[in-house]
Amino acid sequence: MSNTNKKKPLILVSNDDGITANGIRKLVDLMKQIGEVVVVAPDSPQSGMGHAITIGNTLRLFKERIFPEVEAYKCSGTPADCVKLGKHHVLKERTIDLVVSGINHGANTSISVLYSGTMSAAIEGAIEGTPAIGFSLCDYDPEADFDHADEWILKIAEQTLKRGLPKYTALNVNIPPKRIEKVKGIKVCRQANAKWEEVFDQRRDPNGKPYFWLGGNFVNFDKGEDNDEWAIANNYISVVPCQFDLTAHHAINYMNEEWEL
């Protein structure tokens, strides 16, 4: 069979910044180069939703003509909802070869992976046994330039399609912001030991009723050179393989040996 007759891989695209975000437009354009693309994405920004799903409320899905020559739907739910609907409704008669999420406007390194809607869409794909990738650009500017990441995003997606991933694995890919110096390459690494130290600013609304505004500072405790924070700081793209099994395996023997159960 000639290459021109080979069936294109089916790629499901989602995000957490909403279906109109610049990042998903870029990701759709790139994925169209290597596969057949179907989009199911939130109808509004869903950043920080983590792996929330909609239970007890209606979910709405509407077809959109927003991407040229691409079947696309906007969903009233979360990023995880979008992938679930993509898998079990929109593409229920077909096999999805790759789930990609992003490109997120902002970093999802270190502990942020737990809060990230971008990565939750990817992990939902992994739960279904589909290779999945979450892409994030470490630049919070809504008009950020994504062009310097094109070749790297394509390379990672193509390698995933060609070589595969261990089952139930999603890749957390973070891309440095555009700098004068070109991106040095890709580092497959671990999640850094870092966290947000939250501060809740108590304020009052125009009616005098109190409310809180979440702020804080990101603190990196990790001095290693094999983690995602180091990679981004040194102008590498970080790729962290993630899994949804949160079992602290090292604690099992400790508890069995030390606890009186």
Burial status of residue 83 (CB atoms within 10 A of its CB: 0-12, 13-18, 19 or more): buried
Q: What pLDDT does 1 receive? A: 38
Instruction: Give me the DSSP letters along 146-171.
Output: -GGGHHHHHHHHHHHHHH---TT-EE
Number of domains in the chain: 1
On whether residue 203 sits in a domain, the answer given is no
Greatest alpha-carbon pair distance for the chain in Å reads: 71
Nearest to 177 by CA among 138, 223, 221: 138
What is the mean pLDDT for each group of 10 consecutive residues in the chain (261 residues)? 67 96 96 97 89 93 94 96 97 97 94 94 96 96 89 97 96 94 95 90 95 89 94 97 94 94 86
80 within a domain of the structure (yes/no): yes
- Asked if residue 142 is part of any domain, the answer here is yes
What CATH code is carried by the domain that includes residue 253?
Answer: 3.40.1210.10
Residue 176 lies inside a defined structural domain of this protein: yes
Which residues contribute to the annotated binding site for a divalent metal cation? 16-17, 47, 104
At residue 171, the pLDDT reads 98
Residue ranges of the binding site: 16-17, 47, 104
**How are beta strands 194-204 and 210-220 bridged, if at all?**
antiparallel
One-letter amino acid at 259 equals W
The per-residue pLDDT for 55 is 93
Burial, 154: exposed, middle or buried (Cβ in 10 Å; 0-12, 13-18, 19+)? Answer: middle
Angle (CA) 171 173 174, round 5° = 155
Q: Does 85 reside within a domain?
A: yes
Asked if 61 contacts 89 with a C-beta cutoff of 8 angstroms, the reply is yes
207, part of any domain: no
| Cα 41 to Cα 85, 166, 182, 256, distances in angstroms | 10, 26, 31, 44
Measured N-to-C along each axis, helices 150-163 and 22-31 cross at an angle, to the nearest 10 degrees, of: 50
State which residues form the domain around 42: 3-192+223-258
Q: Would you call 88 helix, strand, or coil by DSSP? A: helix
What SS3 string covers 208-227? Answer: CCEEEEEEEEEEECCCCCCE
pLDDT of residue 106: 92
Flag whether 167 is in a domain: yes
Q: pTM of the prediction? A: 0.93
Phi then psi for 48, rounded to 5 degrees?
75, 10
Backbone phi, psi, residue 204, to 5°: -130, 140
Task: Kindly state whether residue 15 falls inside one of the protein's structural domains.
Answer: yes
Q: What is the pLDDT of residue 3?
A: 46
